[in-house]
Structure 1
Amino acid sequence: MKNKLFLLLLFPIFGFAQGGLLDKIKKDVQKEVKKVAPVDLNTLNGSKGNLDIAAGLKEALHKGIEKQVTKLTAADGFYKNEMVKILLPEELQKVDEALRKFGLGSLADKGLLMINRAAEDATKEATPIFVDAVKNMSFTDTKNILMGNENAATSYLQTNTTSPLYAKFNPVIKNSFTKVGADKVWATIIKKYNSLPMVKKVNPDLTDYTTNKALEGVFKMIGVEEKNIRADIKARTTPLLKQVFAMQDKK
């Protein structure tokens, strides 16, 4: 192909080619270019183009779910990830400060660790719900996401999965508190704190708080991957991702 392109550039300069031969070379070059040029999905009409766009978007979302959400389910997936680490609610920050003041810092640290452990455990329930949401996306959804802003896919998932995810996460986190011993740790922490002089007693709903923070962390990490695929061509690791997101690059 390079030789043909080179010849095509030389013919006008030296002017010694016959018209018929030049036309033939032009046609040959055009055929070769078509073989390697990326497909512009804007020019694809009908079900084939729609399927390509939808499949590319769904592949990207599955990639984000697999790569980022799976990380959160590992030990320290929340606890040692500063982007999503669950900190204490405002109500309990004074509890933490008071415990440390009275030499109970290790108990406070353990309580914070247990909250994050419960979130890591609950996040294992997320993948099937995300898969269902992605599977049910319409072509209009995928096209709007593809041509939308850098977190359009993440926003779509938040809108369509937050309620079922909360319903799944909440009982798992409640059970996780028991499984990892967080319920006993926090019962001890609250009891210790409430027994301190001159403090206002607390009784926080840690299950609800941890559930919501775990969901925030899940969506944040999916957003990281979506932004990466949109902005970094090297992150498009399959031919379909490259083809579909090239369309986004042109908008």
Structure 2
Amino acid sequence: MNKITLLLIAICTTCFSSCDVQSQSKLGNILNKIPATGNPTSLEIGQALKQALEIGTSKGADQLSAKDGFLGNLAVKILFPPEAQKVEKTLRSIGMGALADNVVTSLNRAAEDAAKEAKPIFLSAIKQMTITDATNILLGNKDAATTYFKRVTTAQLTEKFSPIVTSSLSKVGATKYWGDAATRYNKLPLVKPVNADLSEYVTQKAIEGMFIQVAQEELDIRENLGARTSTLLQKVFGYADKKK
């Protein structure tokens, strides 16, 4: 690199955390023009991680918030709560499988509604990421980014998801379907009545599903060369490959 480029990196490394989004974007464009040779600077690592995680988390949130994003994905599909699985088994055994299916579908629809709110929370967490955070994630375990997101976004996701899930459960009929299922089950002889808190359960499972999806996207970024769509990403993640 020439002296001007080195000076630019030195100055921007100092102010990286305080740059606004527009400034960081312009800076990213400049850095992408730097040849992918030598070890990446701390600034390049930060820019590359943010760029990669913005792509990954946005893709994950979009997939889960789409119709059947949860319902059609076996890795995150929400089933009856554990304490109510005996309800499902019993209903299906007495010819009420359609009612059980309605419960499962409505739980997943509520999670898909909530997932629409995840993207801005993840993007905010990425924006606040420090260079130290980025370096630790790049050179850390394969789930280092997911662990970071769990630490800094779980409380926000819970606060945001909970009222949406509660509202959606009613909107998509989950409350009614579950009420019908529980009522019919509780009327059966010799069974212990069940009363699962659907809102809390679906909120928790929706957040768990988000992190499962984020972990998949993170793994793709780390292991799929085709996901490194810029010179900067190729340089930084190529460096990480060599450090393993």
What is the one-letter code of the residue matched to 1:133?
A
Report the number of matched residues. 211
What is the one-letter code of the residue matched to 1:115?
L
| Residue correspondence of structure 1 range 49-88 to structure 2 within 5 A | 49-88=41-80
Between the two proteins, what is the percent identity of the paired residues?
48
**Deviations, residues 156-176 of structure 1 (Å, cap 9, x unaligned):** 001110011011111110001
Unaligned segments of structure 2, at least 5 residues:
1-32
State the match for 1:133 in structure 2.
Answer: 125
Deviates more, 1:231-240 or 1:150-159: 231-240
> Structure 1 64/51 Cα, relative in aligned 2: closer, same or farther at 3 Å?
same
Deviates more, 1:186-195 or 1:115-124: 186-195
Larger Rg: 1
For 1:137 and 1:126, how far apart are their aligned partners in 2? 17
What TM-score results when the alignment is normalised by the length of structure 1? 0.81
State the match for 1:181 in structure 2.
Answer: 173
For 1:104 and 1:136, how far apart are their aligned partners in 2? 50
For 1:67 and 1:140, how far apart are their aligned partners in 2? 25
Q: Which runs of 4+ in 1 moved over 6 A?
A: none
Q: Secondary structure at the match of 1:246?
A: helix
Of residues 213, 229, 241 in structure 2, which corresponds to 1:237?
229
> Structure 1 68/196 Cα, relative in aligned 2: closer, same or farther at 3 Å?
same
Shift of 1:69: 1.6
**Deviations, residues 25-83 of structure 1 (Å, cap 9, x unaligned):** xxxxxxxxxx99632335xxxxxx23211110001111111212210001100001111
Maintained 8 Å contact 1:41/1:53: no
What is the one-letter code of the residue matched to 1:121?
D
| Residue correspondence of structure 1 range 21-170 to structure 2 within 5 A | 38-42=36-40, 49-170=41-162
What is the one-letter code of the residue matched to 2:93?
K
Of residues 214, 217, 235 in structure 2, which corresponds to 1:222?
214
For 2:234 and 2:211, how far apart are their aligned partners in 1? 24
State the match for 1:26 in structure 2.
Answer: none
State the match for 1:200 in structure 2.
Answer: 192
For 1:154 and 1:242, how far apart are their aligned partners in 2? 21
Unaligned segments of structure 1, at least 5 residues:
1-34, 43-48
RMSD (CA atoms): 1.5
**Deviations, residues 131-161 of structure 1 (Å, cap 9, x unaligned):** 1110001110000001111111111001110
What is the one-letter code of the residue matched to 2:39?
L
What TM-score results when the alignment is normalised by the length of structure 2? 0.83
**Deviations, residues 166-225 of structure 1 (Å, cap 9, x unaligned):** 111111100010111111111111111111111100111111111111111111111111
